[in-house]
Chain A
Amino acid sequence: MKQFLSFVKKEFFHIWRDKQTLFILLGMPIVQITIFGFALTNEVKNAEIAILDQSKDAATTQLISEIRASQYFTVSAFLNSPNDIAETFKQNKAKIILVLPASFNSDLKHLNKAQVQLIADASDPNTATTLINYATAIITDYQKNINKTSQIPMVINTQVRMLYNPQLKGAYSFVPGVMAMVLMLVCTMMTAITIVREKEIGTMEVMLVSPVQPLKIVVAKAVPYLLLSIVNIISILLLSVFVLDVPINGSIVLLMGESILFTITCLSFGLLISSLTGSQQTAMFIALTGMFLPTIMLSGFMFPVENMPLPLRLISNIVPSRWFYQIVRAVMIKGLGIEGVWKQTLILIAMTLFLLTLAVKKFKIRLE
């Protein structure tokens, strides 16, 4: 135990002395959450909307005021005729235009059915789609409201249904993704590098000659990074809740438990890398291509797994962060309990055991 403690203490010294790295490790989640939460978000705020109101009655006024009230849109212009539409887009005065026909109010009253047209500037297709979704949602809301007071139900053709994230908030999907990314970076890459560094500088040899069991060396290396990761998890969660307004709907204990499980998966992978390579560069390269890229590309964080071609979908199954990403989304956003994520949890446990066994085995072989 004393040996072990000397080791852990030494590891903390290493981390503490390397202020630059420490700063990066602790600052990274904060920066990433901020970047992903605000700058790189695909949600749109205060987009300019122009309105061509040919009806100008109580019903359209009501609808327009609801659009104004939403934080997604700012009404930038009222158009007088359909001829202005093209010009408005050309001058970049609006990203989307709502056209209300002259018969809007009468159609609604007499036919119980009215039409509106949404025209979006699709030169930026992502934004256009998002804006269309926002606008449709507002219109649907409006229709529901008037249905409450009318005896004959109105026919609603548009049905926009966004479970769990009705406002299409970007942060909902970024927070779990950033968590997976940060944990992996800290655990996989740092563990791999720190062990390989000892090989490079020759201290590993000295330790192998000493009576310390190899397993103790390995675990002592992992402990400080586990603690560092817990600090990172906490800072990400605090930022999400208090800055990005992403709620933690499920149990915090379960969320922490799953995060620690994933941290251990990453640590095991880092250990495996370190026992396979002899140079810090190689270790870093393997960690990046083996963990970091798949996390970004294949976990479902950037691109939905469902949309991938079959081979990539199959590969994504062996990417641990894919399962972790699902777990965090389920627990944090959907508020599910362990009954909702037991399958993913089991997969992660199995992966961890596999990686750990392999790492320890490889580590021992090197001694021979």
Chain B
Amino acid sequence: MATDYIITTEELTKRFNDFTAVDHISFYVNKGEIFGFLGANGAGKTTAMRMLCGLSLPTSGKATIAGFDVYKQTENIKRSIGYMSQKFSLYEDLTVRENIRFYGGIYGKSNAFIKEKTNWLLQQLNLQDEADKLVGSLPLGWKQKLAFSVAIFHEPQIVFLDEPTGGVDPVTRREFWNLIYEAAATGITVFVTTHYMDEAEYCNRVSIMVDGRIDALDTPVALKEKFNAATMDEVFLQLARKATRIDN
């Protein structure tokens, strides 16, 4: 297998009793790529992502993250990835600086590293004046950007974003995607799930999950061509309508 693949899966499956949440999916993600992971609710996105993050053990199949095996090397995987959940994942009762410090701390970064990177980050996000304010007092868009920056603070090889822009206005979403591009430019692979099809257009490649399987995987341009659709929205609808599984 070529070393340029940062994520590889082969027939990856997760079963809960007789329910197959993820059904033999095989795909790979290139290093430095922005990979969109799409699917309707209940299609198995979250379960697949949890397996890739080392939170959940697969029932069968193979997968490697940054070259590490998801069965045996979960500790190594955890060190190589960043994660931003769909719930807002910073502490509202801690200041911006304390939040950054805490997340730097749990990844075992040195004080010097944390201090230097914090200053750089605050400057980058234009948050110098808010550094000692409680996160709870910031507008949602800022929090979201901060949460992303915190997720890649420890300089992971891959960052997993689980519906990162839920409830954010279009302007802020645009700014958020600029951050994603910046991160990708530094070589971080971005693995993102979303429900916004305009965001799918921003990805290098997208996969669409239906009923636990990956039904389509290509660049947005190629997908639109293949499904004879004008937008990713249409592509998604064509595929999602085939779903037989009831949305849970």
Contacts and interface: CB of A to CB of B under 8 A. Distances in A.
A367 B55 contact: yes
Given A17-B94, A202-B87, A205-B83, 9 more contacts: A3-B105, A10-B98, A10-B102, A202-B89, A203-B91, A205-B55, A208-B55, A209-B53, A210-B78
Interface of A: 2-3, 5-7, 9-10, 13-14, 17-18, 201-203, 205-212, 367-368
B90 A203 contact: yes
Nearest to A14: B93
Interface string B42-84: 0000000000011111000000000000000001001101011
Nearest to A367: B55
A14 B136 CA distance: 13
A14 B160 CA distance: 27
Contacts of B134: 17
A206 B104 CA distance: 13
B34 to A, nearest CB: 20
B178 interface: no
Contacts of A6: 101-102, 104-106
A18 B90 CA distance: 16
Given A10-B98, A13-B98, A209 B83 contact: yes
B124 interface: no
Contacts of A205: 55, 83, 85, 87, 89
B91 A10 contact: yes
B94 A206 contact: no
A212 B93 contact: no
A28 B90 CA distance: 30
A2 B108 contact: yes
Given A10-B91, A13-B93, A211-B78, A206 B85 contact: yes
Contacts of B55: 205, 208-209, 367
B166 to A, nearest CB: 12
A209 B84 CA distance: 10
B107 interface: yes
Q: Considering residues A202, A209, A212, which has the most beta carbons from chain B within 10 angstroms of its beta carbon? A: A209
Interface in B131-180: 134, 151, 160
B86 interface: yes
Contacts of B54: 209
